[in-house]
A and B are shown apart, each in its own frame.
Chain A
Amino acid sequence: MQAIKQTSPYIRKTVTTSRMMTDVLIALIPVVAFAIYRFGFDAIIRILVSLVVMIGLEAVAFGMMQKPKASEKFMERLKSRYEKYSINNVIVPAISAIIFAMIIPSKLPIYAVVVGASFGIIVAKMLFGGLGSNIFNVAAAGRVFIGLALTDMFSGKYVDVDLIAGGTALTTLKSGLLFPQALNSYSILDLFVGNVPGSMGEISALAILIGLAYLLIRRSADYRVVLSAVITFSVLILLVGLKLYPDQALSYLGYHLFAGGLMFGVVYMITDPVTSPVTRPGRWIYGLLIGVLVVLIRLFGAYPEGVAFALLFSNMFVPLIDYPKWSTNKVKPLFVVGYILVLAVFGLVVFFGVGGAV
């Protein structure tokens, strides 16, 4: 009998990383199905392009990052580069790819999709060291890159195709239309079900909520970030609603919740564990930061949308939140007080900040 040297513990749980990641893929099914139902072939082709680009480029970059064995034959050297290649190197870029495809408009030119997906996977992920080492959300980075580089395609001035190729229901607010009238164009119910223009995956809150339920039941996403971001967002928007439209504050809140990319971003993007802090209070703070930033960008920024920006911006704060000197997993009273205080301060900021019309 041969004895093997090991150290305790000698047993492991059966849950694996690939199971957690597969859960995210499954949770994306309702959103993808709705996108295909609404946009048909346009959606399918963009999802496929994005998948091929992300998985393919990750594989290429992965091979380039490994040290090959010294060997005469090219094939052997190539093979040795892929010894550590695992199922996670397919599932994880697939998630990023689908999320990326879901946050772009259905009429976006294919080359723009390729550019965004390439930027996301190469610059935001593989250059940082691949799976687990990236500090920015891959899909958000890709989306923001094409959003900034190819602004015209998103702003609604893109004359060749649909006038509202990139517009979401929120664009109506930004373009000067006052809020109560916006409800005439799109009712809250339309927004909830997804009967509005917008990026492919973002429009149906219903499909997203089904995905969220699955993720939470399987415990593959942390409810803390979701809850924290939604609470922060709702409190701040409700305050604004109370000031601007005292009679319709709740529909104002509903409008902001279901229009645009907030729901999708909160459920699928900010729950990405790789770019989240690792402690309970840290995740609450992270959600708070995202919620506040989304509100600030929506109310005071030049963009009608802000989830991707808010997410990337908050990603930068993760190392700060996790700084060993003060990071702790205990929920201390100081943290609770601080959380409420910050929320109150930003509540005052937005309440007195929104002077006239939005």
Chain B
Amino acid sequence: MNWGVLQFPGSCDERDALHACELADQSSGGQSRLVWHEETDLSGLDGIIVPGGFSYGDYLRAGAIARFAPAMTAVADFANAGGPVLGICNGFQVLCESGLLPGALLTNEEMRFICRQGDLIVTEAESPFLSELEPGETISIPIKHQSGRYFAPPEMLERIEANNQVAFRYGEGHNVNGSLNDIAGVTNEAGNVLGLMPHPEHAVDAFTGSTDGLKLFRGPAGINA
């Protein structure tokens, strides 16, 4: 599977994400690569990762300026055609700002930057990124952000819940940012776009305590195999 990992000025997790793509897909000989924010040609790519970091300095609001990057127009076309797109942390914020995912991410309730391991509970949402995970399963991956408080207006929240678009919830005691309904990640209506605040790409080697994150990257590869 050929992954494209976006790289904005200010991205900082793109190399870990690329490493995770390569680890998850060792057997197929896929050619994953970084995609510079000015690129608009995504041909030959089977999946897109919008990585974490501080795109364009996160000025104005996290993800607000990145959504206007030339590469994001191409990602929107790719997503609307059904291609799998995963947004992690700042990437989740970018996907929300661009309207590819519902909702918004606000500054953490306690204003602090949070960096710790967190438990996420897999829900019954349908997405290629969840195909290697079981509903109800708990995964342990790192959380590191300052603006991760998930918010959606009441009607939107109701619709997301009714459509099973909540992909992950924080486990009990792990909703560290004040997210509504303990929401850690959501999908679009079709399920091919998924965003989450915690970092699966940092949980791919037993050396750092957990390999649970690999399962998200393996999902779409299994479907394409």
Q: Do A and B come from one complex?
A: no
Residues of B within 8 A of A (CB): none
Residues of A within 8 A of B (CB): none
